[in-house]
Every structure is written in C-alpha cells, then in structure tokens.
C-alpha cells in the first residue's frame, strides 16, 4: 500500500491479526465488558483527531458493547467538510463502518451512519459514537456556523515532507487527521466564482524540486475531491528555511497573493535526497522510485552531481560460546517448517551491484559518468545489534566537498531529515547513522 499523506499516524508494520487482537485485549482490560445499555442523552464516545491505535481501540470498545447487547443499535455521527474525498465527514463514516462490519463482524443493520454537517473549525474532524436501544431516537445533531461561503485569504500553511513513493506494509489502518484538503475543496464548491492558489516554497535543506513535487501532489489530491483544476493556480514562492505549501482563496479577478519566485535556484550546499535500507531497495517498485528521484534531480539541475554513499555491514564480533545443553534423547528435534515464497518476501538488494546498475542506466539517460559518484563506508555494529546495509543519496553543487561517508548525524539533524523523508526505509537508514 502506498503511503497516504493525509494520515501520518502509521508507526510501522504489524500483522493485522496481531494488531486487532492487541486492540481487543486492550479494550477488554481497560474498559471491561459492557453490560446492557440504557438510553442516554450523551454519546458513548466523542473524539476529534486520533491516531490509528486510538481509533482502533475506540471502535473496538464500541463493537464490544454492541456484541454484548443484541438489542442495541450503534450510530456513528460525523461532523466535517461536505463531499466524498479523504478527510470529508462522509468518507470517515464509510471508513469506520467498514471496520465495524468487515473487521469486527457486526451486521450492517446494527451500525447506522449520520453526516451531521460541517464542524465549527472546518478543518477539524469530530465524531460521536452512540448506543441506542430499540425505539430510542438519536438526538438532533448540532448545527455549526462557519464562514465557508465568505472566507478570503490564506486558508492553510504547513511544512511538508518531500517523500519518495515507497511501498511498505500499512497494516495498522489509518487514523483521523486534519481535513484540510476536504475543507478547501468544500469551500471552492461553495464559492463558485472564487480562485484558488497553491503556493509552495523549497526548503534550504530540501532536495531540488521539492516545491514542484509538493504542488503536483496537492493537485492530485484535489482531483479526488472533484475540484475543477482550471480554478486552481500554482506559484513557486522561492526558497525558505523549510519546504512549505500554502493554500489561498481569492475573489475572481484579484491579483495573485504572492509574487512568483521564478526558476528554482540550485542548492547552495550538499543536501541529502533520501536514505534507504537494502531491504527497502530489494522491492522493485522502491528501487525504481529512488532511482527516478535521483534522475529527476540531475535532469532539473545540470550543474549538480549525485553521490551515493553505500554503507555495508561490518564484521560482527564473535559472541562467546555458551555451554551446550544436553539433548533430550526421548524427544526428537523438530525441523523448522520452511517459509513460503510469500512469507520470505523480496530479498534485500545487493547494494554494490545496484549502484553499478544505476551508473550504467544514468549513462543511457545522457547523464555524464562524472556526475555520479559512489562512496563506500562500513556501517557500525556491536554484539547486540546488526545495523545492516543502506544507501544515502546526496546531491552536491559545484565547488562543494563530497559528503563524508563516515559522518554521523546528531539527534536534531536526524529528526529534521526524518520530517522531510518519513518513509520506513528512510527511518531505518537514518537510525543506522545516529550517534550511538
């Protein structure tokens, strides 16, 4: 599954059954098993933005109560932007009902959904879970006043991550985040004559083209919200400390909110494009995504050279031998059952061979050989942890020294780069280069 930017709550891969069982037992221990419920004027649960673990636990507890009392009906009431795209109130209803029905096994007839309209903070989600016995009526949802039909100016600004589209296991499910895109699309649908602007800024430490890619991703997300892209204009605002994107709403005929920054200048110093482990690069899609990003940067900035630092695992110290235990002659040893092809997964990439393949392929794209430099380093290891093999790809402007292949990042730099490249493979690579 590809990473979905609107839900940045997935912390790592986990077997789906394990995740659901953990959530089930956590709910049982923390809340107990609910007995028959009585009609109430208050919802069973209310929440706004939540991560995947929190959302799963809340829905699990809701499902347990419904399963323990067959006379109850569950209602999910969602406030949020109108529309059907990711982050809208209606999409969240589909998401939560799908979990309760298809994962927790509740009959569709026992889970009702109600879209209650926009929330007072239009980018904020709000959800209510209700348990009602037969014959009880759901209280009338509250109606909030918004300025969605009159708003003009800067709607939203945020630092963004220029991630590479790495495939990784997303088995924990999405959380519920800010509904910025859905709210912006809802506003454009309401203000039929307004003009929208996407303004993006490249960060000083960002890879070339970050601002352009941010704009393109934003336009792609708007397509899923059925936004008329002829009403959306894009502006490159220049270079700032952080890569940022702004969303503006203006009246038809008004001048652009920001002056165009012209062509993107090359970086003034070396910047890291990505860091990926050999396990990540063993997946063909991921290897192509990293190579294509490097090629894109080299084509867009002809004065730059790319540097691939290949860190290979050093020899691990031999552990002291442990005393052998006497085998029980009465119990024959059981051979481990071999893993299936699916369980084995893709083998890790052979990184020295991979960079040689990249070198040859870059030549076919008319990239001169001197613009691709490969450096080798030994990744650290100790008696407990094997740090593995990984590649860090840098771009270097003319006159700048090549990056030190043995350099180690301090905590602040690791966190900053991790914000820019949050894929699983990147996090592994960055962790490997942290100071011990």
Least confident of 109-118, 226-235, 375-384: 375-384
User: Could you tell me the fold of the domain covering 16-133?
Assistant: 60s Ribosomal Protein L30; Chain: A; (3.30.1330)
Token pair, residue 148, equals: 């969605």
92 touches 80 (CB < 8 A)? yes
Please give the Cα distance from 357 to 32 (Å, whole number).
57
Mean pLDDT of 298-312: 96
Read off the pLDDT of residues 70-121 as tens digits, 9 standing for 90 and up.
999 999 999 999 998 999 999 999 999 999 999 999 999 999 999 999 999 9
Find all residues with CB under 8 Å of 178, minimum gap 6, and list them: 6, 49, 87, 123, 124, 125
**Per-residue pLDDT tens for 293-303?**
999 999 999 99
Is the domain defined by 153-250 classed in CATH 3.30.365.10? no
Domains 16-133 and 271-315+344-432 share a fold: yes
Residue 306 has pLDDT above 80, yes or no: yes
- DSSP, res 229: G
- Measured between alpha carbons, how far is 318 from 198 in angstroms, rounded to an integer? 56
Q: 399 in the Ramachandran plot: left (φ > 0), alpha (ψ -120 to 50) or beta?
A: left
Domain ranges of the chain: 16-133, 153-250, 271-315+344-432
The DSSP code sequence of 411-430 is: HHHHHHHHHH--SHHHHHHH
pLDDT surpasses 90 at 197: yes
Q: Is 60 exceeded by the pLDDT of residue 350?
A: yes
Q: How confident is the model at residue 33 (pLDDT cuts 50, 70, 90)?
A: very low
**Is the domain defined by 271-315+344-432 classed in CATH 2.30.30?**
no
Percent share of the chain, pLDDT over 90:
68
The mean pLDDT value of the chain amounts to: 82
Strands 244-250 and 271-277: unpaired
Name the DSSP class of 239. E
Q: Does the predicted model carry a pTM greater than 0.95?
A: no
Q: Kindly report the CA angle at 80 between 77 and 82, in degrees rounded to 5?
A: 105
Q: Is the pLDDT of residue 342 over 90?
A: no
CA distance linking residue 251 with residue 329, whole number of Å = 86
């Amino acid at each position: 599954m590809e990473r979905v930017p609107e839900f940045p709550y997935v912390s790592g891969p986990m077997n789906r059954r394990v995740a659901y069982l953990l959530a089930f037992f956590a709910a049982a221990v923390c809340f107990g098993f609910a007995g028959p419920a009585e009609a109430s004027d208050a919802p069973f649960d209310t929440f706004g933005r939540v991560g995947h673990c929190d959302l799963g636990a809340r829905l699990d507890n809701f499902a347990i109560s419904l399963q323990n009392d067959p006379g109850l009906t569950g209602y999910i009431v969602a406030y949020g932007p109108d529309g059907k795209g990711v982050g809208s109130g209606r999409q969240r209803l589909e998401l939560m009902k799908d979990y309760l029905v298809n994962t927790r096994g509740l009959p569709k007839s026992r889970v009702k959904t109600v879209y209650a309209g926009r929330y007072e903070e239009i980018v904020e989600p709000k959800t209510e879970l209700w348990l009602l016995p037969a014959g009880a009526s759901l209280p009338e949802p509250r109606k909030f006043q918004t300025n969605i039909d009159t708003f003009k100016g800067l709607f939203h600004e945020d630092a963004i991550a220029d991630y590479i589209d790495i495939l990784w296991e997303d088995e924990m499910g999405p959380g519920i985040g800010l509904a910025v895109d859905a709210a912006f699309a809802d506003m454009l649908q309401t203000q039929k004559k307004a003009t929208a602007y996407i303004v993006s800024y490249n960060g000083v430490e960002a890879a070339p083209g970050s601002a352009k890619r941010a704009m393109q991703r934003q336009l792609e997300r708007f397509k899923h919200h059925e936004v008329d892209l002829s009403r959306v204009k894009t502006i490159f605002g220049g270079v700032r400390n952080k890569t940022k994107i702004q969303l503006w709403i203006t009246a038809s005929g008004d001048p652009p909110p920001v002056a165009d920054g012209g062509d993107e200048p090359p970086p003034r110093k070396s910047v890291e494009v990505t860091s990926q482990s050999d396990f990540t690069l063993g997946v063909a899609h991921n290897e192509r995504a990293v190579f294509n990003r490097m090629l894109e940067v080299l084509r867009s900035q002809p004065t730059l050279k790319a540097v691939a630092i290949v860190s290979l695992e050093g020899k691990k110290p031999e552990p002291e031998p442990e005393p052998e235990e006497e085998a029980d002659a009465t119990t024959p040893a059981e051979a481990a059952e071999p893993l299936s092809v699916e369980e084995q997964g893709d083998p890790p990439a052979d990184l020295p061979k991979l960079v040689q393949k990249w070198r040859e392929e870059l030549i076919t794209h008319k990239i001169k050989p001197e613009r691709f430099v490969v450096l080798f380093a030994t990744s650290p290891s100790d008696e407990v942890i094997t740090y593995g093999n990984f590649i860090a790809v840098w771009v270097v402007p003319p006159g700048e020294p090549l990056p030190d292949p043995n350099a180690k990042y301090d905590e602040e730099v690791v966190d900053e780069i991790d914000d820019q490249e949050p894929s699983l493979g990147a996090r592994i690579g960055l962790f490997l280069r942290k100071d011990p």
